[in-house]
Amino acid sequence: MERVSRLSSELVRCVLICSQWNLSFPSAKSEKLFSSTFSKEFILFICKFSFSFYLQLAGKMTWPKDVGILAVDFAFPSQYVDQEELELYDMSKNVKGVQPGKYTKGLCQNKMGFTTDREDIQALCLTVVSSLIEKYNISYSDIGHLEVGTETIVDKSKKTNACYGGTAALFNAINWIESSSWDGRYALVVAADIAVYDKGDQENASARPTGGAGAVAMLIGPYAPLVIERGLRGNHFDHAFDFYKPDFHSEYPYFDSKLTIECYLKALDNCYQMYLQKVSKQTGKPIHECGLNALDAIVFHAPFGKLVQKAFARLTLHEYINAPKEVKNDFEGFSQFQNLALEDTYFNASLEKFLVNYSNKLFVKKTLPSLFMSNQIGNMYTASVYAGLVAYLTQPGLKASDFEDKRIGMFSYGSGYASSFYSIKFTSSSNLQFILDNLSEVRPKLEQRRKVDPKQFNEILDQKEETCHLGRYALVVAADIAVYDKGDQENASARPTGGAGAVAMLIGPYAPLVIERGNRFIKS
């Protein structure tokens, strides 16, 4: 019976997969096949079916269909500092370069989330993962592959991924599912970071307002409502020391803000053009029809909002560059910049102002909605672009049908540097509404956060700086084995005074056994 049970289970499994892949099922010519549980005819039928089944399956199974995001969740700290208040506080401390509107209008940031010394990157990651598992009612055993992207604490070398780590993790997860290694289970991607900077002083400008913290978890698999479009990925990698963390004793990075902006925009130029070329090749459309008009929204890695607005504006320059000669005149005002090489445009103030004004309506429609989390929480490094996706999905009043068949562009950048521009296509899957329902609590939770005044905020970060990479407790272990010679007729034995033992003590503050301070006498 055990043998028959195994055969029957195999038959049922094959029937189910046949249904899934639209394969033909070889019919039984006679009911006698099943009249005897041990008949030769039944065994031959199973063998014939299996052979037919696997031949068909080999021809059908090229790629898992619609691989992408099946579930997503978002976590962030429970406290924040108001950027306008921080701006006024820094002005009172005469921090270099701070003027009214520097953080709010200049950077386009309103609030910044931050962690205390009681919440580290591991806590953020575990929080968002456990929340996703619970909301979507899945088991950890359903996950066959885990990818984590973060640059917080763990890696102190020069970054080749940095903020790109979340996207690298996503692509790795997709590659696993589309490979021979896939075992049919989900992949889990976690992107999380705590972005924190030095506070600056009278001689050094402060980058602290561009900090933030957050974590995004994504469940990856086939038949997803958010499909990562296969083959449509523009990449650019280069070497630059624009941002890195060489100090083992500090959370703070070393960075060159001007170089970072140049690298970011250069990466966008290269990624976007490569993406357009691939779309054109895949669809057969001319390259000028594959850009902004073909994308319903564009989500960017967001160190701060103003850089994203400038980056989006730059895409209209590419629209002009790619346009056929006969329609270039439709781009009013662009001809004055037609002789500029791209590498000469990164800090051209007149071009930048022109592009921002020209593209403003499109920016408000296609990208501004995705900047909500960045505006309210700040930079989240690896999680930044995916927090932008969460912001886009949680726009008030929208439901799943509002996203159906839409295509959005995603630009990911990480210092060092690495970058990609790719696209996500929304399907008509009912699972999308399930995602939206599970994300419905994100915006209300933002309103439930506790506001911390700038003075206390800086004190908290000062405390974190003092205890960076230091454990809260010290472990003291005293251990020995005492053993002596056994003695003889001429020498007394000390062996009875031997022994062995070990004592471990955890040393820290607020202890029940207090070592009195100052009451020590040491003589050597």
Where is the binding site for CoA, in residues? 306, 310
- Pick the closest to residue 245 from 419, 459, 415 (CA basis): 415
Q: Which of 125, 163, 271, 290 is catalytic?
A: 163
Active-site residue, from 145, 236, 301, 318: 301
Catalytic residue among 151, 236, 290, 318, which? 151
To which residue do tokens 């726009």 refer?
395
Asked if 262 and 348 count as a contact pair (C-beta separation under 8 A), the reply is: no
* Bridge partner list, 75: 215
Residues whose CB falls within 8 Å of the CB of residue 48, separated by 6 or more in sequence, listed in order: 26
Q: Which of 280, 270, 203, 198 is nearest to 237 (CA)?
A: 270
Reported as type and span, the H/E element at residue 243 is strand 243-244
Cα separation, 359 vs 291, in Å, equals: 14
Tokens representing residue 133 in the block: 């598992």
Active site residue 163: yes
CB 192 within 8 A of CB 125: yes
Cα separation, 395 vs 439, in Å, equals: 10
Residue 252 CA to residue 235 CA, distance in Å, equals 28
Q: What is d(CA 410, CA 296) in angstroms, rounded to the nearest whole number?
A: 11
Q: Vertex 392, ends 390 and 398: CA angle to 5°?
A: 110
- With beta carbons less than 8 A apart as the criterion, state whether 213 and 113 touch: yes
**301 given a catalytic annotation:** yes
Q: Could you tell me if 404 and 431 are in contact, meaning their C-beta atoms sit under 8 angstroms apart?
A: no
Q: Where are the alpha helices (DSSP H) in 284-383?
A: 305-322, 349-366, 372-377
Task: Write the burial class of residue 181 (CB in 10 Å: 0-12 exposed, 13-18 middle, 19+ buried).
Answer: exposed
Catalytic, 290? Answer no
DSSP secondary structure string, 136-191? TT--GGGEEEEEEE--SSS--SB-SSGGGHHHHHHHHHHHHHTSTT--S-EEEEEE
415 with 261: CB under 8 angstroms? no
CA dihedral sign of residues 394, 398, 401, 402: negative
* Angle between helical axes of 40-60 and 2-21 (0-180°, round to 10): 30
Catalytic residues: 151, 163, 301
